[in-house]
Amino acid sequence: MTAMFVDDVTKVYGEGRTAVRALCNASISLRDNEFLALVGPSGSGKTTLLSVIGGLLAPTSGSVIIGDTTLTDLSKKEQTRFRANRVGFVFQGFNLVPFLTARENMTVMASISDNSRNDIEERADQLLEELGLADRSDNLPEQLSGGERQRVAIGRALVTDPDLILVDEPTASLDTELGTQVVKLLASEIKSRGKAGIMVTHDLRMVEFTDRTVKILDGELLTGSDPAASD
């Protein structure tokens, strides 16, 4: 089953002679239980595409469909609620709130989802255990290692049980060993939970843990955009 479909998306920043085309007629689909790597040089449009897919950035043209919902047809308020329930983000640099504990960082954003507080807290405790952070739940981010902070960020993305996981450069601030552990953990979580995931990465060593690689250059998708082609 198709979990996500990006149809002919273009994103242009600015107008007239100063306009910059960050994405050019990008189309890509993703199936349930599939973990995809999006690779390309700096400035190629990787993060722009991820932001458009997640509804953080509106495309100039084209559409994004997640499940049975056309995200680009929703109002900003509706997109916010949709993201809170259906999309999980793992940002580059962790983006943890420095004065909140690991557990609180996992649950704070989930408060705007349709999940009950009790469900979110139970889910957070389960994830803390699964991610090897049960004894670190009351620690602030500054008291955690880089790998532990990244695991908290992964837990935060998973706590609402979303359909789609979007990951931006998860190994950027980690050494090779920790980076490999984090990506293997992401792949395991996505597969075991039957989710779909996209990982933006500059580290080609990490693509071996994904199902498919899509290359992007100057805003254009070059390979692997259609999984049916490999059937």
Q: Using CA atoms, how far apart are residues 31 and 109, in angstroms rounded to an integer?
A: 26
Mean of all residue pLDDT scores within the chain: 88
CATH number of the domain where residue 181 is located: 3.40.50.300
Q: What is the pLDDT of residues 52-99, one digit of tens each?
A: 999 999 999 999 999 999 999 999 999 988 988 899 998 877 789 999
Domain that holds residue 220: 32-58+74-224
Grade residue 224 by pLDDT with cuts at 50, 70 and 90. Answer: low
Question: Is 206 inside a domain boundary?
Answer: yes
| Number of folded domains that form the chain | 1
pLDDT of 132 > 90? The answer is no
Per-residue burial over 190-221, b if 16 or more Cβ lie within 10 Å, else e, is beeeebbbbbbbebeebbebbbbbbbbeebeb
Count of beta carbons in the 10 Å neighbourhood of residue 138:
10
Q: Using CA atoms, how far apart are residues 202 and 181, in angstroms rounded to an integer?
A: 16
Spatial strand order of the sheet with 61-66 comes to 20-31, 2-13, 61-66, 69-70
Question: Is 229 inside a domain boundary?
Answer: no
| pLDDT at residue 136, as a whole number | 95
Question: Is 184 inside a domain boundary?
Answer: yes
pLDDT of 213 > 70? The answer is yes
Question: Is 81 inside a domain boundary?
Answer: yes
Q: Using CA atoms, how far apart are residues 66 and 213, in angstroms rounded to an integer?
A: 20
Question: Is 21 inside a domain boundary?
Answer: no
Task: With CA atoms as reference, report the closest residue to 23 among 42, 44, 38.
Answer: 44
Residues 6+ apart with CB under 8 A from 116: none
| pLDDT at residue 2, as a whole number | 67
Question: Is 14 inside a domain boundary?
Answer: no
> The pTM is what?
0.88
Question: Is 22 inside a domain boundary?
Answer: no
Task: Show the tokens assigned to 82.
Answer: 């949709």
Name which residue leads in pLDDT, 61 or 1: 61
Candidate from 36-40, 113-117, 164-168 with smallest mean pLDDT: 113-117
| pLDDT at residue 223, as a whole number | 64
Q: Using CA atoms, how far apart are residues 186 and 8, in angstroms rounded to an integer?
A: 28
- Three state DSSP letters for the chain: CEEEEEEEEEEEECCHHHCEEEEEEEEEEEECCCEEEEECCCCCCHHHHHHHHCCCCCCCEEEEEECCEEHHHCCHHHHHHHHHHHEEEECCCCCCCCCCCHHHHHHCHHHHCCCCHHHHHHHHHHHHHHCCCHHHCCCCHHHCCHHHHHHHHHHHHHCCCCCEEEEECCCCCCCHHHHHHHHHHHHHHHHHCCCEEEEEECCHHHHHHCCEEEEEECCEEEECCCHHHHC
Query: In the predicted model, what is the mean pLDDT of residues 10-34?
Result: 92
Question: Is 26 inside a domain boundary?
Answer: no
